[in-house]
Amino acid sequence: MSKSAYQEHVSTLSTNYSDAIERACSSGSQIDCVLLHSGSEHHYFADDRHIPFQAYGHFHHWLPVNRPDQFILVQAGEAPIYFQVLPDDFWYEQSIENESWWADHVQIVRLNSVDKINEHLPKSAIAYLGPEIELAESLGIESSLVNPKSMVSCLDWHRAIKTEYELEQLTEASRVGVLAHNAARECFLNGGSEYDIHMAFLQTCNILEEESPYTNIVALDEKSAILHYQNKRRKVDGNGHVLLIDAGCRINGYGSDITRTWVKPDAHPLFQSLLSSMIALEQELVATIKPKMEYKKFQEAALAGVAKILQEADILQTDSDDLLEQGIPQLFMPHGVGHLLGIQVHDVGGHQKDISGASTPPPEHSPSLRNTRILDEDMVFTIEPGLYFIPLLLEKERDSDKGKCINWSLVEDLYPCGGIRIEDNVRVREEGAENLTRKFE
């Protein structure tokens, strides 16, 4: 772990928080410092079992500590203070390993109760960033200073540009993720079930399921047409000809998000051809990346590419050049082409137009697009075009004007194959794209 990279990361965050405080003050708020809260643990309804905890992103941005009721105090010109709350407890393990590479750059104040934080807070105007509004009020923080919009917008905006420390974590998350995808592929080719493949991925990453950056999508055959398919079937129905696996690994809070579609040699020949074409399309999209581009242009290019592939395969029987406006390729790719990536898999600020929080909405033809930013150096995001045969979307168009150009005989043949998605994690550099995923393949 690079100690100097983390030190520079903390310095960058301190500058960004000074900027956020200044902007909040210029909009009429009096803020002297910021208290970040990781969040509190919660239980399932009518149960005494904890919901798996995930720290608030802006807290996690500072520290690789995914624990409830931890706090960071940020004051201009001073090292951040980490209030490490370790309750006196014999039910659960409460210790935290303070590794020197990060712990040497913060002041650590150890407490055994959240109630004792007030004794250490300055007598000044404190803004609270976190999910527990009642806790903020109990600390005497004014309601107007709880998650102030101007401050959150500023910090969300800055999160899109990664520090060297963050790039190290995302690169390592991609490296391990690629190894795990290779293990998943081998398990699939050897006849493994969705459950087997899922476990092979986790074991290679050396993580528990709740430590994943998101719920793994492991879909065989027709289930791969369910975009966020959540089950893990223990048995293989038929031979399992197609695997779509969307899964990542988390390193110090930063997650990779990688999708691969694999087929066995006996899979439908046309589907195999479509897969090769989609892999080529994804790589073409990545190759066009450069600073100052509009991300939404990738959405239009992805949809146009999907339409061309479908036309060349005779699935779309039309030479019309306005398929995008007709909404026809969206029937086969109903999602966005990607999103910002970082502490959160779908990282914050994707629709922001500027640092004040003004937004650029997704285009009307693609309302699910999560990123509309102008590309800048050291942004990290995903590129993930898809092509699916989804009965729910297609069948209702069978007798419509859109359906007239669809080769229904081929579509029916391909329904059992499900769908295709190819996803890489990409960094923007001055000279173009650095594909954090493919560099390890």
- Other residues' Cβ atoms within 10 Å of the Cβ of residue 426: 25
Alpha-carbon distance of 349 to 162, in angstroms, equals 13
pLDDT digits (tens, 9 = 90+) for 241-271: 999 999 999 999 999 999 999 999 999 999 9
What does the alpha-carbon distance between residue 367 and residue 365 come to, in Å, rounded to a whole number? Answer: 6
Per-residue model confidence (pLDDT) at position 321: 79
> For the CA atoms of the chain, what is the radius of gyration?
24
> Which tens digit of pLDDT belongs to each residue from 57-111?
999 999 999 999 999 999 988 999 999 999 999 999 999 999 999 999 999 999 9
386: its two tokens: 């898809």
What residues contact residue 205 under an 8 Å CB cut-off, 6+ apart? 176, 177, 179, 180, 212, 249
Chain segment 374-428, per-residue pLDDT in tens: 999 999 999 999 999 999 999 999 999 999 999 999 999 999 999 999 999 999 9
| pLDDT higher than threshold 80 for residue 238 | no
Inter-residue contact 87 to 94 (CB < 8 Å): yes
At residue 25, the pLDDT reads 87
The reported pLDDT for the residue numbered 101 is 96
Note the pLDDT of residue 76. Answer: 87
Specify whether the CB–CB gap between 204 and 247 falls below 8 A: no
State the Cα–Cα distance between residues 241 and 351, nearest whole angstrom: 38
Q: What is the pLDDT of residue 152?
A: 97
Can you tell me the distance from the alpha carbon of 428 to that of 441, in angstroms, rounded to the nearest whole number? 19
Q: Supply the DSSP symbol for 262.
A: E
CA distance 206 to 190: 21
Whether residue 177 is predicted with pLDDT greater than 90 in this model: the reply is yes
For residue 245, list its beta bridge partners: 218, 260
DSSP secondary structure string, 343-410?
SSSS-TTTTBSSTT--B-PPPTT-TT----PBP-TTBEEEE--EEE--HHHHGGGTTSTGGGGB-HHH
Q: Report the pLDDT value the prediction gives residue 1, as an integer from 0 to 100.
A: 64
Question: What does the pLDDT look like over 194-207, one tens digit per residue?
Answer: 999 999 999 999 99
> Measured between alpha carbons, how far is residue 381 from residues 109, 303, 434 in Å?
36, 18, 11
Neighbouring C-beta atoms of residue 210, cutoff 10 Å: 11
pLDDT at residue number 127: 97
Q: Encode 273-300 in three state secondary structure.
A: HHHHHHHHHHHHHHHCCCCCCECHHHHH
Sequence-distant (≥ 6) Cβ neighbours of residue 227 within 8 angstroms = 334, 335, 386, 388
> Residue ranges of the domains in the chain?
3-159, 164-440
Contact 219, 188 (CB under 8 A): no
Q: Mean per-residue pLDDT for 146-158?
A: 97
Range 191-220 average pLDDT: 97
Q: Give, in words, the CATH class of 164-440.
A: alpha beta
Question: Does the pLDDT at position 335 exceed 80?
Answer: yes
Q: Which amino acid is at 85?
A: V
Q: Which residues pair with 261 in a beta bridge?
A: 244
Q: What CATH class does 3-159 carry?
A: alpha beta
pTM for this structure?
0.97
For 392-406, the pLDDT digits (tens) are 999 999 999 999 999
How are beta strands 380-383 and 424-429 bridged, if at all? antiparallel
Q: How confident is the model at residue 239 (pLDDT cuts 50, 70, 90)?
A: confident
